[in-house]
Amino acid sequence: MKINGMLSQLSEWLLGEGPENDIVISSRIRLARNLAGFPFMTRATEQDRRSIRDTVQNTASEIFEQDSFYFVDLELLDSLDRTYLCERQLVSRELVETEGARAALIDRNEKFCIMVNEEDHLRIHGMTSGFDPEKIWSRINEVDDKLESQLQYVFHNKYGYLTACPTNVGTGMRVSVMLHLPALVVSKEIDKVFRSLQKVNLAVRGIYGEGSQPVGDFYQISNQATLGRTEIELIEKVNNIVPQIVAYERQAREFLLKERHEIILDRCSRAMGLLKTARTISSIETMHHLSSLRLGINTGLLDEPDIPIVNNLFLNTQPAHLQKHNGSELSQTERDIARAKYLRHKLGEK
């Protein structure tokens, strides 16, 4: 399977680079689009779905270089490969779990992906490491323009791009930022931050977006509605709020280092020790300990490993990635044992 080649590369959004990368894991922008001449997905027949998929595939072949992307037919993938793509943040859980004709056009460097037949006909999204929404917008806007030059989108002169969900009508844009906020969690200030975000109509979700729960002190912050706002206004809103959250997290880290230094050092050191020696460990427990490890490295309490290595461990210890590395499906018990072995190997223990 051609997507197996992704195992040897680290997704761009996990490189540990870009502005504020000690707290902001990644920035992401998604555009929702629908093709004229076809019903929305809730009313689309299987023939409609196949026609949409084929139309997008043919168009992509014309406007993108053939060796620059994968066109993946999700109907042909088994559940493990579909989950694998979801863990890499390339496709959504909804696209994985739905039935019928659906596909994904994936840039080989994983800088962007186009989901076909999710909630809307097209979901164009891209991610980059650190806090840089403008970089992603420039990239995704170019992809969108290329598609729109060949495809006719459903567009209303007054309301903008029409989408299956009313909250996406207008620009169809969702701007989101993935944040690592362990100090705010430890200092019990995180709920105050969330309440403030709700007041300005920003949503808080887990690392896999809508419907997912936060794990390991990682949170996605995104706009909730697009109608009546331009793309630049939506980006500016996130640009205005996220630096405040980053500042709160930095303040919380400084407080913990000053007032609870030994407690935080112990937490981070224990996390490293457990990850290097455990014989069996669950995915959720791994996320929590890697969160503490990342906190220790970014605050100078620990001097190894490098952040890209930690980010790589976040990805490759997820269930589907672990099984792909193993070359076969594993039971939960077998995964927990394999995960511990993988961590010991990567962190230098036998």
Can you give the pLDDT at residue 226?
78
Enumerate residues 6+ apart whose C-beta is below 8 A from 74.
82, 91, 95, 96, 102, 103, 104
Query: Own/partner pairs for 79-87, CB < 8 Å, 24+ apart?
Result: 80/320, 80/323, 80/324, 80/329, 81/1, 81/3, 81/320, 83/319, 83/320, 84/3, 84/320, 84/321, 84/324, 85/3, 86/208, 86/320, 87/315, 87/318, 87/319, 87/320, 87/321
- Percentage helix, strand, coil for the chain under 3-state DSSP, each rounded to 5: 50, 15, 30
What is the reported pTM? 0.90
Does the pLDDT value for residue 181 go beyond 70? yes
Average pLDDT, the chain: 91
Can you give the pLDDT at residue 213?
55
Tell me which of 73-77, 184-188, 204-208 is least confident.
Answer: 204-208
* H or E element, residue 310: helix 307-316
Residue of 324, 321, 317 whose CA lies nearest to 339: 317
Beta carbons of 252 and 210 less than 8 angstroms apart = no
Does the pLDDT value for residue 214 go beyond 80? no
Residues 58-65: what's their mean pLDDT? 90
Domains of the chain: 2-253 (3.30.590.10), 260-346 (no CATH)
Can you give the pLDDT at residue 38?
97
Residue 58, Cβ neighbours under 10 Å: how many? 10
CA distance 291 to 140: 30
Phi, psi at residue 348, to the nearest 5°? 100, 0
Confidence of residue 122 (pLDDT cuts 50, 70, 90): very high
Residues 245-271: what's their mean pLDDT? 95
Phi, psi at residue 163, to the nearest 5°? -135, 165
